[in-house]
A and B are shown apart, each in its own frame.
Chain A
């Protein structure tokens, strides 16, 4: 029976190399992704549910969720707007320095986040270059959630730009021209013709930026000020637990971050799949 199923399985594929490539992929995923996650859950095995619940709902930790999620949401929204604009500029126009700007987009990926954090902290501290200026206007950035959101926006902007850019490149200019020739104003053409194409990529990019911000640590802690209940992020709570050798507590909080991220990524994937199916006329 299994032998028969296997044969059918094998003969259905014309492309070679499925067994080997799939095997290596699974091995790699297991070693690099699943093993550490299993380790994390192993840590949790000693906890009862009540203990687990009390760790992850402790007042200071819950406050950190609020700060993290709130700042990440603001950062993601800012990135959605500016990321879209940047992608638009990079695709639709030619100008001197376009290549440079394009390369610059990846800088937040390449830069160690701690370097970014220190730079931002220096720049926006109350006696820093920008900070002194903003503080005079009554807009303190360092040691507030604004600073956290700023650091998050910095590290996650490439996600939006790099997901929207290829979709925009793929969209022929003629579609735009067709809308105009039919009498559509620029605003209407953008809203009814261009945006519907970009939506899935924009939502995916924004979602990825959001999830990335939830886990960001290095760039934030230098600018955040880290005041309990005020500007402590969840990643910092994990770090504090680790410093106190409370590995189990750290794992418990980490598992919350993991679940939220995973659920979000899955939701984005499912939603995007549905949208793409519609573009292809109901077929997958």
Chain B
């Protein structure tokens, strides 16, 4: 075996576009500096206790060296000072034990504090992202950052940073100890350094990305299986069992190819390290031995030097062990810090709507440069009107809904609420007037109470029950074991989609905005459940302005005004009866629906 080339397939390569920015190196550096500054005292403390521990650890070799010197000189019992030496030895050992414990503990405390800071910073940033960025980017990228990247950083923060600090101080002190013992011995140690440097340079150039690929490959093995399990029904119905086994085995092959490559990398590095360790000891013994024979240094110094050289194995191992972890962590850190590069939501806090009229005037909008999804859309929604948007998938209904909810700003034209431009208001202001409800009925992990309180944090239990009552949810909510304190969401009590939907609507009742945009809010439900829910909804929404992106025609039927959106334009506009009379696309659909 001459060598192993890195596998061609890289499972760590991105498959979907990064929808959020990745931090530039200057941003990352600034963040690291800030992190260090914040934890300066803890760092100093760690280095101090570490210094004491290492210095104490050198007492043994030093005292033994003295004894060896005196024994080989054949001094008398009085001059041997055996009891005193042993006493010092015991004292040094106790100091060392106490401080080693401190080093370990302080290292963990520092690491944990930094890690906690990092993950909390990230979440704080994330929840401050402008709604438009979230709609556009989706939450997938953010989600992978908060799980995978935080995970990767956990090791680096909690272990690598403190351990590297410890290791570096340790090596420096041991070398210092050697210099104090006998300078030529310290020089002898340096003979081995070039070898180590060569090996490490070769290795660290390749290792970090290889480990990242290896980890991604391993995760892909587990992911393939998890998918087979999750899709059990589909796999069986389509007779995909054998293919899933083949896929798992292909993933295993890809993963093990990377394992083989990293094993090869270590197969090169290990001999370098092993030879370095023995060479350090050998050069101290040989060079030192010759010096003793020449009478330039004493045999005691040689003994002390050899034992200290032997102690270098641990800190060098520590540094090598954690160095690549730090390199891997850099990439993850850049991804986390990248969220800081997103412009926070800037809105004019003074801007407030006067009235409830929604007005769209000659609006153009597109997600990509030069491709408009909406063209020349003008619309007026009077307070209390129920407007239904209907039309085929991809026609731009949802986009129009989001513009009306102030999530996106039009490329051209204006959308105003009570005369004030929506896109220039702050997100907090917009949402106190307009709420967008989409298919996503997320039930948060936590109590039922928390799931409702988010809409109005100061609501009393009585108000929460009133809101649940308004959406017909109080019956099942009262039947829960712990009532409002029942843990729901993933891992807790499993709510049905209909119940989740009711929670979402109860939040609306609590938030009480005067204008709502409902984007296929009931589409994921069983049609029968959806119908029932829409009935409760109608009660709740009485008197409010409602823009409903209708997906079932009966929703349209009940609306005051129906806008048919086709191909980015409003092609028909009017009440149900008017449109049926006009005998256009809507009328044709209605007839087919109603039989």
Please determine whether chains A and B interact with each other in the same assembly: no
Enumerate chain A interface residues (CB-CB to B < 8 A): none
Enumerate chain B interface residues (CB-CB to A < 8 A): none
